[in-house]
A and B are shown apart, each in its own frame.
Chain A
Amino acid sequence: MKKKAIDFSVITRSKITWAVVAEILILLVCFIIRPDFFSISIQPSTGVLYGSLIDILNRSAEITIIAMGMTLAIALGGTDLSVGALVAVSGAMALKLMRWDVLEYSTPGDYTVYPFWMAILLPLLTCMLMGLFNGILISKGGMQPFIATLILMVSGRGIAQILTNGKQFTTMYSPFRVIGQGHLGPIPMPIIIMTVVCIAMAVFVRKTAFGTFVESVGVNKSASRLSGISSDTVIIIVYTLTGLLAGIAGLIYSSRIMSNDSNNAGINYEMDAILAVVIGGTAMTGGKFSLIGTIIGSIIIRTIVTFVYYFGIVAEATMAFKALIIAVVIILQSEPVREYFARRSEKRALQG
């Protein structure tokens, strides 16, 4: 009797519980309305897996990748608003390198002007530098993360536009297409990249002590410093990493459309990523974080979008559904509600 009550409290206190419940509920509704929602088949022409669930995973790649970095930024008690703009910068940079202005007379074809590795690495490097800029403003400059990253959020898209002279380039270079539209065996490439990034991040933060350092600095900067942790270094690494991940997401996005779209690439990504993190149970005040929670959060967001597409609801209305589900999760996760559940289960434990 007593043991049961304690189990209950563990479940209600765990921050990712509600996210998992929400995801299951949405999927359940999908299943009831459309029993074939869960079916996964192999497309005969390409040999690629095909189905709603695969689509959800595929399309959630960008946000999930960005949200990995965002989780660390939020665990530090900060946030990174510039990631959406960095997505645009990364795409613009890549397209600029593959299709240089000089060759405007030539028609798009299966070629690249600069070597492919350059078109991949330079955008990533640029995004890392911009993340480094954020990190330095926050750690050495002592600025609030919100304001420090607002600067690049505002001017980042401008930089992307200037890079491409305000033009939208297209490319047909096939190796680049692989990033967003290719597949490895039967699995779409974005899912592969996302998985690799998630595993790499998980290994980086949990198999080294970096995750603990981030949590420690996020909870108590002064005590962390006195324990010998260099909080400035931790902050700079986190924001640089967030920049890099935004860059990767930018490459996937632009490869999907084989073009740069500085106005719309990554729009509201920072919001979606922050939401994914918060739904995943990491508190905006910093401290303990959960990468798994973030992945679930990101998938929830994408499930809602897919749900809306599938059932013929106006695509732009997705946001309203997002808001409703987020509101429910946030309210259930909020301090007063969690305390209420904790008190109730304590009472039960006492009675039992």
Chain B
Amino acid sequence: MPENIILEMKEIEIKFPGVKALDKVDFTLRKGEVHSLLGENGAGKSTLIKCLTGVNRKDGGKILLNGQEINPTSPQQAVDLGISTVFQEINLCPNLTVAENIFIGRQPMKRGGIDWKTINKRANELMERFHLDIDVTRPLSFYSTAVQQMVSIARAVDIQAKILILDEPTSSLDDNEVRLLFEVMRQLKAEGMGIIFITHFLDQVYEISDRMTILRNGHLIGSYEIGQLNKVQLVTEMIGKDIDVIFNLKRADVKEDAAYMLEAEHIGVPGKVKDISVTLKEGELLGFAGLLGSGRTETAEMLFGAEKTAQGKIRKKGSDISLKTPHEAIMNRIAFCPEDRKTDGIIGDLSIRENIMLAVQARRGFMHPMSRAEQDKLADYYIKALGIATPDAEKKIGELSGGNQQKVILARWMATEPDVLILDEPTRGIDVGAKAEIQRLMLERCRDGVSVIFISSELDEIIRCSNRIVVMRDRQKVAEVDGATCTQQDILNIIAEGSAAENGKEASV
């Protein structure tokens, strides 16, 4: 039914320095449908959305809105064209009232002043339509993230959008709130609005969408009607197997009599991770598989002291250790490469050299500085060893590409010569070559006797590298499988079964 199509994106191409973020991606949206856009982090979902909303310029392709070619250059222009976006991060003003957040910039006026009565009345009507019974005259910050999310949808809806983009709107909502949101989405759908829905929760995709489009590493994998793929097929498509073995990666061997490096017993934080026990042997690589939000990051943070454990014990080489701060963890030769490189990893204004020496220096304390020669030696060594592409060690880390930044952070931790190296999504958002290199480095460490914990959303790399794999779901450990014998299908089944078995509970990828 081509006459039903309101948005057509043809052969969209976007290049970032060094990488092709989108490679000839097609996307169509029909009137009155919910179309899910799926893919792993770094697959190009948000790049596609940013291109549509005028945040990113496209390097090739066309966007047709109702058959007319459009080229939005700013979010405001996109809004004027009838394309509204609700981001995961709430883009509203927390200090203004709910009603005002919906109407600011286009308040109805009466006798030269703002007509507060009409604003509040109309906001009440909108909230009623969303089945939200809240006081619209209270500040936005007074309400939960869920309500705030609804308010931003209300604002988007009220400016008479033809296309509504929801970028992970449900990640902070509970089941009831999700149901509420879906009701509103169905209502809008019935009114003929086209909705693009981005989410990590697969059950929600099946519950609300009419069609789905899958992206992987900037490529279009395909668009399907919702009945065409089952959940396991979908996960397989999203995760893919596209990292072919560029380097001949071999799993490290763990000696039969290898001692326990780290033992965590019943550690947990209320509301984040339920009672988890893991063990790690010398020279072993322990994979953490599981979906985003399954508690893998929180577990890693507990093992590094970045998240205070409320219960349980952690032993290293047989003796109890206290891990209350990252500093204590570093003193115990535990290293942690965090998931969010930008906010928790790099120190953007400092040079590569300073970024590399930071953790070593922090362990020594500031009164025992490394000499400049030592620093240079350290930096040069790791730049060479990890193949960091830079003219010299004095370049600001902020000016490097993502893959190279990741290598610098890795170097920071390798330089501390850790016994335990925890890597949270070290290969996310970097190109295939760099991924393989980081995996190779990881495995080399294992051969040197370092124990590695490797967290990743990509199953094939976990299976390829891990000796053992801990599978996590719903903030707890659900299985532990042997890396040498298990297959992707096994793990997919554990994850998908869980989400199918607990019907209605969200599962994320």
Q: Is B343 an interface residue (CB 8 A)?
A: yes
User: Would you call A229 and B349 a contact (CB within 8 A)?
Assistant: no
User: Would you call B344 and A226 a contact (CB within 8 A)?
Assistant: yes
Known contacts A222-B344, A228-B327, A230-B327: does B366 contact A208 (CB below 8 Å)?
yes
Q: Is B9 an interface residue (CB 8 A)?
A: no
User: Would you call A209 and B366 a contact (CB within 8 A)?
Assistant: yes
Encode contact with A along B238-268: 1 for CB under 8 Å, 0 otherwise.
Answer: 0000000000000000000000000000000
Q: Is B347 an interface residue (CB 8 A)?
A: yes
A219 touches which of B306, B327, B344, B350 (Cβ 8 Å): B350
Known contacts A220-B343, A288-B349: does B366 contact A227 (CB below 8 Å)?
no
Least CB distance from A324 to B in Å reads 30
Encode contact with A along B110-153: 1 for CB under 8 Å, 0 otherwise.
Answer: 00000000000000000000000000000000000000000000
Q: Is B358 an interface residue (CB 8 A)?
A: yes
Within 8 Å CB of A220, what residues of B?
A: 343, 346-348
Encode contact with B along A221-265: 1 for CB under 8 Å, 0 otherwise.
Answer: 011111111100000000000000000000000000000000000
User: Would you call B347 and A228 a contact (CB within 8 A)?
Assistant: no
Q: Is A213 an interface residue (CB 8 A)?
A: yes
For A207, A215, A225, A228, the residue with the greatest tally of chain B CB atoms inside 10 Å of its CB is A228
User: Would you call B366 and A219 a contact (CB within 8 A)?
Assistant: no
For B325, B354, B362, B367, the residue with the greatest tally of chain A CB atoms inside 10 Å of its CB is B362
Q: Is B74 an interface residue (CB 8 A)?
A: no
Within 8 Å CB of A223, what residues of B?
A: 338, 343-347
For A224, A229, A287, the residue with the greatest tally of chain B CB atoms inside 10 Å of its CB is A229
Among B314-368, those with CB < 8 Å from A are 325-327, 329-330, 336, 338, 343-350, 354, 357-359, 361-364, 366-368
B306 touches which of A209, A226, A229 (Cβ 8 Å): A226
Q: Is A216 an interface residue (CB 8 A)?
A: yes
User: Would you call B347 and A216 a contact (CB within 8 A)?
Assistant: yes
User: Would you call A219 and B362 a contact (CB within 8 A)?
Assistant: no
Give Cα A228 to B418, complex, Å.
Answer: 13
Chain B residue, CB-CB nearest to A207: B369
Encode contact with A along B219-242: 1 for CB under 8 Å, 0 otherwise.
Answer: 000000000000000000000000
Least CB distance from B139 to A in Å reads 20
Encode contact with B along A8-33: 1 for CB under 8 Å, 0 otherwise.
Answer: 00000000000000000000000000
Q: Is A210 an interface residue (CB 8 A)?
A: yes
Chain A residue, CB-CB nearest to B306: A226
User: Would you call A224 and B347 a contact (CB within 8 A)?
Assistant: yes
Give Cα A229 to B369, complex, Å.
Answer: 14
B362 touches which of A208, A229, A287 (Cβ 8 Å): A229
Encode contact with B along A287-305: 1 for CB under 8 Å, 0 otherwise.
Answer: 1100000000000000000
Known contacts A223-B346, A226-B336: does B358 contact A216 (CB below 8 Å)?
yes
Q: Is B412 an interface residue (CB 8 A)?
A: yes
Q: Is A41 an interface residue (CB 8 A)?
A: no
User: Would you call A229 and B348 a contact (CB within 8 A)?
Assistant: no
Within 8 Å CB of A213, what residues of B?
A: 361-362, 366
Encode contact with B along A92-129: 1 for CB under 8 Å, 0 otherwise.
Answer: 00000000000000000000000000000000000000
Give Cα A224 to B306, complex, Å.
Answer: 12
Within 8 Å CB of A226, what residues of B?
A: 304, 306, 326, 336, 338, 344-345
Q: Is B370 an interface residue (CB 8 A)?
A: yes
Within 8 Å CB of A224, what residues of B?
A: 347, 358
Chain A residue, CB-CB nearest to B396: A288
Give Cα A186 to B306, complex, Å.
Answer: 56
Q: How many residues of A contact B (CB 8 A)?
A: 21
Q: How many residues of B contact A (CB 8 A)?
A: 31
Known contacts A212-B354, A216-B354, A216-B358: does B326 contact A228 (CB below 8 Å)?
yes
Give Cα A222 to B347, complex, Å.
Answer: 9
User: Would you call B362 and A228 a contact (CB within 8 A)?
Assistant: yes
Chain A residue, CB-CB nearest to B330: A228
Within 8 Å CB of A210, what residues of B?
A: 366
Chain B residue, CB-CB nearest to A213: B366
Give Cα A33 to B366, complex, Å.
Answer: 49
Within 8 Å CB of A222, what residues of B?
A: 343-344
Give Cα A209 to B363, complex, Å.
Answer: 11
Least CB distance from A136 to B in Å reads 18
Least CB distance from A175 to B in Å reads 33
A229 touches which of B358, B367, B412 (Cβ 8 Å): B358
User: Would you call A227 and B369 a contact (CB within 8 A)?
Assistant: no
Within 8 Å CB of B304, what residues of A?
A: 226
User: Would you call A228 and B367 a contact (CB within 8 A)?
Assistant: no
Give Cα A220 to B344, complex, Å.
Answer: 8
Give Cα A10 to B51, complex, Å.
Answer: 35
For A209, A213, A216, A226, the residue with the greatest tally of chain B CB atoms inside 10 Å of its CB is A226
Within 8 Å CB of B346, what residues of A?
A: 220, 223
Among B275-321, those with CB < 8 Å from A are 304, 306
Encode contact with B along A201-215: 1 for CB under 8 Å, 0 otherwise.
Answer: 000000111101101
Within 8 Å CB of A227, what residues of B?
A: 326, 330, 347, 358-359, 362, 412
Give Cα A37 to B377, complex, Å.
Answer: 48
Known contacts A208-B367, A212-B354, A216-B358: does B325 contact A230 (CB below 8 Å)?
yes
User: Would you call A209 and B348 a contact (CB within 8 A)?
Assistant: no
Within 8 Å CB of A287, what residues of B?
A: 349-350
Give Cα A209 to B326, complex, Å.
Answer: 18
The residues of B with any CB-CB pair to A shorter than 8 Å are: 304, 306, 325-327, 329-330, 336, 338, 343-350, 354, 357-359, 361-364, 366-370, 412
27 pairs, CB–CB < 8 Å, chain A vs chain B: A207-B369, A208-B366, A209-B368, A209-B369, A212-B350, A212-B357, A212-B358, A213-B362, A215-B347, A215-B354, A216-B350, A220-B348, A222-B343, A223-B338, A223-B347, A226-B326, A226-B344, A226-B345, A227-B326, A227-B412, A228-B359, A228-B362, A228-B363, A229-B327, A229-B358, A230-B325, A230-B327
- Contacts A212-B366, A225-B306, A288-B350 known; list 7 others, CB within 8 Å: A215-B354, A216-B347, A219-B349, A223-B343, A227-B358, A228-B329, A229-B327
Closest CB pairs A-B (n = 6) = A228-B362, A228-B330, A287-B349, A209-B366, A209-B369, A228-B327
